[in-house]
């Protein structure tokens, strides 16, 4: 579509739509005013509406829901007329209608010139940021325009350079700051014992390998780690690959056979979704943690396929809640299905010994396959797939991350082995992390008494997640720019926060992913919440909220 004729030329069409809306509004308002003034006529019309008490021929909720809106409009107009606020009511309605129509026209025009769904989202962002949309601009250009605009303002919150990661405070953008979105829930990322074992392994085995594990890259150290992971989760064996992403994606590819069907929570990690795409499996997504919706889909589609799997996460990384494993297992048993759990954010956190979702619910062996990463509590890099011996033996040739990728470096394996030993021998770390998670979550929820007494409730952040997890989602509904501004102000005060936006979380619910760690002191958490509330008040929001 030509930009000039398509985007600006359609403005005339948009204005015609606005005129039509204005005309319809005048008709509705005129009828409303007449009925508001003439009570008997209103009563007569109301009596004719299906689903009302005066309608002798109606008995269903469907009719009432279909026509009840008209009676509601009439009532609002009549009440406003009696109270003398009719002009104000009509003004608000007109303003709302015009906003909705203008937004709809904008969306239509931007979608028409976009190259993809992602490009459409970037164009919407540029519109809200009041940035020029050039004729024929590409998706890459749109994204970079947004990025450079926020960088010029000094508030771009991604790809920040961080130094001193081995200390309690890192150096970021010239500020010394405490990481408050760290993956290292048990504070092993700068544990000297882990560093020492990693260095020793690198010295013994070198920093690389002679090839993929299938062709000369396998080592006794990797096999030792695989056995340790299997033992940690109560499984017979496991397979280790270079990243958690490849482990999750590879497990899906290995599981899938023609004629199978997968059911996945709609908040699953991108790595598992990538596995769905690569494998070519038929997938049905159920609403997040909604077991009724899962069972509805299973009832509808399960019988059409041979084997069926349910994919869940122990802790949902952007929401901070856990999967209801007892309910998932019940549905799996009822319909002859298997379960795969992603333990990325549950390992080292859930359960008395940090063994994850199964230990949390006291359901050992509830999952058929467990996948995950070492980049969180284990303070390393790499991924694992653990299950029974037969399944693991099958994985070598059938997991792309093992067959077509280099092996996990020895120093990563050596460090992770030591992390697993520490987690198993020091359960007090897991308990301390759990206590800090609960304290910090409750403090953030309440604001610690730092909110001004007259501060509007709808301007405050909200908190998502379950008490048992280390992930605390702090949500500023409809205002990603406010999230970015608050993060920038927090950095100035010595706190490093991760900003999360669509598509990593729902479009209208941008957030911070605050994480609790075992090493936090109560004073540190108190100071953090004080600054978080004060920065939230100091950054009241943007026009983007109204636009959304």
Q: Is the pLDDT assigned to residue 79 strictly greater than 70?
A: yes
At residue 473, φ and ψ (nearest 5 deg) are -85, 120
Q: Is the pLDDT assigned to residue 239 strictly greater than 50?
A: yes
Helix (H, G, I), strand (E, B) or coil at 313: strand
Q: Is the pLDDT assigned to residue 237 strictly greater than 90?
A: yes
Strand order in the sheet with 170-172: 162-163, 170-172, 175-179, 495-496
pLDDT band of 540, cuts 50, 70, 90: confident
pLDDT at res. 546: 55
User: Measured between alpha carbons, how far is residue 286 from residues 257, 328, 451 in Å?
Assistant: 21, 12, 37
Q: Mean pLDDT over residues 382-397, rounded?
A: 96
User: Measured between alpha carbons, how far is residue 315 from residues 66, 211, 346, 403, 441 in Å?
Assistant: 41, 34, 5, 29, 15
b (16+ CB within 10 A) / e for 188-227? bbebeebbebbeebbeebeeebeebbeeebbbebbeebbe
Mean of the per-residue pLDDT values of the chain: 87
Please compute Rg for the chain using Cα positions. Answer: 28
pLDDT band of 37, cuts 50, 70, 90: very low
pLDDT band of 197, cuts 50, 70, 90: very high
From CA 244, how far away is CA 395, in angstroms rounded?
15
Both tokens of 502, joined, read 């669509």
Contacts of 268 (CB under 8 A, 6+ apart): 285, 311, 312, 313, 342
Domain 192-425 has CATH 1.10.3720.10: no
Q: Is the pLDDT assigned to residue 360 strictly greater than 70?
A: yes
pLDDT at res. 100: 82
- Sequence spans of domains, the chain: 3-113, 118-151, 162-182+429-547, 192-425
Q: What is the per-residue pLDDT across 421-442, written as a single tens digit (0 to 9) for each?
A: 999 999 999 999 999 999 999 9
pLDDT at res. 69: 65
From CA 253, how far away is CA 247, in angstroms rounded?
10
From CA 459, how far away is CA 217, in angstroms rounded?
55
175: DSSP letter: E
Both tokens of 133, joined, read 């949309």
Q: Is the pLDDT assigned to residue 46 strictly greater than 80?
A: no
CATH annotation of 162-182+429-547: 3.90.1150.10
Q: Mean pLDDT over residues 58-70, rounded?
A: 51
User: Measured between alpha carbons, how far is residue 458 from residues 44, 364, 478, 489, 545 in Å?
Assistant: 40, 43, 11, 21, 11
pTM, whole model, 2 decimals?
0.81
Place of tokens 């509805």: 296
Q: Mean pLDDT over residues 481-491, rounded?
A: 93
pLDDT band of 39, cuts 50, 70, 90: very low
Q: Is the pLDDT assigned to residue 241 strictly greater than 60?
A: yes
Place of tokens 């390393």: 380
pLDDT band of 408, cuts 50, 70, 90: very high
Q: What is the per-residue pLDDT across 362-389, written as a single tens digit (0 to 9) for each?
A: 999 999 999 999 999 999 999 999 999 9
Q: Is the pLDDT assigned to residue 60 strictly greater than 90?
A: no
pLDDT at res. 204: 94
Q: Mean pLDDT over residues 148-167, rounded?
A: 86
């Amino acid at each position: 579509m030509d930009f000039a004729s398509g985007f600006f030329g359609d403005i005339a069409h948009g204005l015609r739509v606005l005129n039509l809306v204005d005309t319809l509004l005048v008709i509705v308002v005129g009828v409303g005013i007449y009925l508001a003034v003439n009570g008997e006529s209103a009563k007569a019309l109301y009596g004719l509406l299906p689903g009302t008490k005066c309608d002798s021929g109606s008995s269903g909720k469907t009719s009432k829901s279909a026509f009840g809106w008209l009676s509601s409009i009439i009532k609002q107009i009549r009440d406003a007329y009696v109270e003398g606020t009719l002009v104000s009511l009509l003004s608000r309605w007109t303003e709302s209608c015009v906003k909705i129509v203008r937004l709809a026209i904008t969306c239509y025009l931007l979608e028409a010139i976009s190259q993809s769904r992602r490009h459409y989202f970037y164009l919407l962002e540029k519109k809200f940021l009041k940035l020029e949309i050039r004729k024929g601009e590409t998706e890459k250009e749109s994204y970079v325009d947004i990025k450079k605009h926020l960088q010029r303002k000094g508030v771009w919150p991604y790809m920040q350079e961080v130094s001193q990661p081995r200390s309690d405070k890192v150096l970021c953008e010239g500020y010394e700051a405490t990481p408050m979105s760290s993956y290292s829930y048990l504070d092993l990322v700068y544990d000297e014992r882990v560093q020492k074992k990693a260095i020793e392994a690198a010295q013994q085995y070198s920093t690389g390998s002679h090839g993929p594990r299938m062709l000369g890259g396998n080592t006794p150290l990797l096999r030792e780690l695989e056995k340790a992971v299997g033992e940690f989760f109560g499984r017979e064996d496991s397979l280790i690959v270079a990243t958690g992403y490849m482990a999750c994606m590879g497990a899906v590819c290995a599981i899938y056979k023609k004629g199978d069907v997968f059911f996945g929570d709609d908040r699953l990690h991108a790595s598992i979704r990538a596995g769905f795409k690569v494998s070519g499996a038929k997938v049905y997504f159920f609403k997040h943690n909604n077991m009724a919706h899962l069972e509805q889909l299973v009832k509808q589609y399960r019988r059409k396929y041979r084997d069926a799997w349910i994919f869940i996460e122990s802790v949902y990384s952007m929401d901070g809640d856990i999967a209801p494993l007892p309910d998932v297992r019940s549905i799996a048993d009822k319909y002859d299905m298997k379960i795969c759990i992603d333990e990325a954010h549950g390992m080292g956190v859930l359960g008395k010994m940090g063994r994850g979702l199964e230990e949390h619910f006291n359901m050992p062996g509830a999952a058929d396959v467990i996948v995950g990463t070492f980049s969180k509590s284990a303070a390393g890099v790499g991924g694992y797939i653990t299950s029974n011996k037969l399944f693991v033996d099958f994985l070598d040739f059938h997991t792309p991350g093992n067959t077509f990728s280099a092996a996990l470096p020895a120093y990563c394996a050596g460090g992770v082995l030591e992390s697993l030993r520490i987690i198993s021998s020091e359960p007090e770390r897991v308990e301390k992390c759990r206590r800090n998670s609960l304290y910090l979550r409750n403090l953030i929820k309440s604001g610690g008494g730092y909110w001004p007494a007259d501060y509007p409730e709808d301007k405050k952040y909200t908190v998502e997640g379950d008490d048992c997890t280390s992930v605390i989602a702090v949500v500023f509904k409809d205002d990603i720019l406010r999230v970015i501004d608050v993060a920038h102000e927090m950095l100035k005060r010595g706190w490093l926060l991760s900003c999360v936006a669509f598509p990593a979380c729902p479009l209208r619910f941008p957030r911070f992913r605050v994480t609790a760690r075992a090493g936090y002191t109560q004073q540190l958490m108190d100071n953090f919440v004080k600054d978080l509330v004060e920065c939230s008040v100091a950054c009241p929001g943007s026009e983007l909220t109204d636009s959304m």
